[in-house]
Structure 1
Amino acid sequence: MKPLIGIGFWRSLLEPELPDPACFIDADWSQSERQRVLHYLQQGQPLNYWMGYSWCRFRCGISNPEMGAADYTDGTYCWPEGLAHYVSCHQVRLPNTFTQHVLSQLSFPAAAAKVSDFSPVDMQWCQQQTGWHPSFLSFPAETDEEAEKTIRRFEQGKCLEPSMLTPAACEARTHLIKQWRAKTS
Structure 2
Amino acid sequence: MYKIARACFRSISAVAPSNSAVGGGDRTVRAESLVTSPDYFTLLGAKPQLGRAYTAQDAVPGFLEPVVISNGFWQRNYGSDPKIIGRKMRLDSDLYTIVGVMPPGFRHPGRTLNTDVDVWIATGFNGLPFPVPAVRSQRMIPAAIARLKPGLTVAQAQARLDAYIPQLSREYLTEYPAAATWALRFR
Q: Which has the larger radius of gyration?
A: 2
Which structure has more relative contact order (CA 8 Å, sep 6+)? It is 1
TM-score range, shorter-chain basis? under 0.3
TM-score of the superposed pair, with normalisation by structure 2? 0.27
Q: Which has the higher helix share?
A: 1
TM-score of the superposed pair, with normalisation by structure 1? 0.27
